[in-house]
Amino acid sequence: MEKIRNDIFLKAALGKEVDRPPVWLMRQAGRILPEYRAIRSKLSGFKELVTNPQLSAEVTLQPVDILGVDAAIIFSDILVIPEALGLPYEMHEGRGPHFENPVQTEKDINKLSASDIPAKLQYVTDAIKLVKNDLNGRVPLIGFAGAPWTIFAYMVEGSGSKTFSIARRMLYTNPDFSIKLLDLITDATIQYLKAQIAAGANLIQIFDSWAGVLPANVYKEFSLKYINKICDAIDEVPVTVFAKGAFFALPEMKHTNCRVVGLDWNMNPVEARKLLPNKTLQGNFDPCLLYAPVKMIEKETKIMLDNFGKQNYIANLGHGVYPDTPLDGVKAFIATVQNC
């Protein structure tokens, strides 16, 4: 069994007693770090970094080396899944992802394939192996994927959106199409995550970034059902489910086969603890608070820690750190948690 020297993150995820909460940040490997920007400036685009195992591994390790966080998360993108299915995307600076041929009909689905997903995404698992070698047991490594609904939303919409009205419309007007595509994405995602685990990922996080645009009953039928399929298929390592905006789904998540539930900054820690007594909670500092003066960050972080308590808790943000966040703010947040 792998020996991890700083295993506080895994202990907290598993509900074991810890001296203090572990801390890491969603999007911790990225533009907040000058070292990341130096690498990125030499490349033609974001996808060049994602698909290069050596560079992906290097930026994955930067927050561990520079910020001293308690876990690494592999540097990748949730949209590698549609590309592996046969739907390539482009990443436009400042505008986000774009799919030239969004999935609109059953004929479009039939052009996709969930075969050989691990082979198609070997660049990710190669990066994981490099990271594990360089970490040498310092901290655990998190693997991840997008939730099927979130991936579906991008594939059908063709780009990012504030409302994802095209994708949402499809759930109502063509449920058979929607189920078929969600099943395909789920199959591919399970293959992908199991390959990440085989390569060395110590925990898996499922990001449902667009959970909050769905009504509660629709979310249960067209998102949580598929998240549950993934969680039920993964028994090798703990799983975290982070469904942004889905406060209404917390009672249902009590029965989801995951160990950790991530909370966004709008969710109440005390209420979440009542609803999810059997889970470890993760979150939920407002990323915008990291722009505040250091003294305020320290004060608000301590309030958050008091609300969650030290046990069955992983300190994090309520969403990913924003690209122009001051590094001093990030460091103050991490230091406050680690010195609590």
List the catalytic residue out of 36, 89, 154, 313.
154
CB 305 within 8 A of CB 40: no
Annotated catalytic residue within 40, 108, 183, 273 = 40
Which residues of the chain form beta strands (DSSP E)? 72-73, 90-92, 96-98, 141-146, 203-208, 239-243, 260-262, 280-285, 313-317
Show the 3-state SS of 246-305.
CHHHHHHHCCCCCCEEECCCCCCHHHHHHHCCCCEEEEEECHHHHHCCHHHHHHHHHHHH
Q: Is 40 a catalytic residue?
A: yes
Q: Considering 7, 27, 226, 264, which one is annotated as catalytic? A: 27
Residue 266 · residue 283 · CB < 8 Å: no
Q: What one-character DSSP code corresponds to residue 159?
A: B
Please answer whether residues 184 and 114 qualify as being in contact, where contact means their C-beta atoms are separated by less than 8 angstroms: yes
Q: Residue 230: how many CB atoms within 10 A of its CB? A: 25
37 flagged as catalytic: no
- Catalytic-labelled residue, pool 7, 36, 70, 77: 77
Task: Confirm whether 192 is a catalytic residue.
Answer: no
Catalytic residue from among 31, 126, 134, 322: 31
Q: Contact at 8 Å (CB) between 272 and 261?
A: yes
Instruction: Specify the 3-state DSSP secondary structure of 183.
Output: helix
**Is 116 marked active-site?**
no
Question: Which residues face 91 on adjacent strands?
Answer: 97
95 is catalytic: no
Two tokens at 94? Answer: 């400042």
Instruction: Return the active site residues.
Output: 27, 31, 40, 77, 154
